[in-house]
Amino acid sequence: MKKKKIEDGTLECPECGGKAKPMKISVAGAEISGWRCSCGYEMLSPGELEKAYLFLQAQKHERVKISKRGNSYMITIPKAIADAIGIESLDMAEVYLKDRKTIMVEV
């Protein structure tokens, strides 16, 4: 028999008493499992709170130094960002210029 996870069912909304349905809720760009009621009240799954926290931590701006190796320039990716999205050494990324002040890194 398949074990039913708490995320599979509806929850009673503590705000209006209605039924909150399970869905993904965007928190700081992270898709977190939770419930949303038609009144707008949202609850996050307790097991996913750390994921939301890591994404919030990773959105703090950090100053990093640009260094040079050969003909290329390097910047480091702060640990908070790596932890939030699970970057590993030797992963590939796409880098391009968005505008005069913005370099995009897509992983």
List of residues contacting Zn ion (CB under 5 A)? 13, 15-16, 18, 37, 39, 41
Query: In angstroms, what is the minimal distance from the CB of 15 to Zn ion?
Result: 4
Tell me whether residue 15 or residue 83 sits nearer to Zn ion (CB atom).
Answer: 15
Q: Report the relative pairing of strands 102-106 and 94-99 from DSSP bridges.
A: antiparallel
For residue 65, the minimal CB distance to Zn ion (Å) is 49
What Å distances lie between residue 19 and 8, 15, 27, 67, CA to CA? 13, 10, 21, 54
Nearer to Zn ion, 41 or 53 (CB): 41
CA distance 59 to 14: 30
- Which one, 14 or 29, has the nearer CB to Zn ion? 14
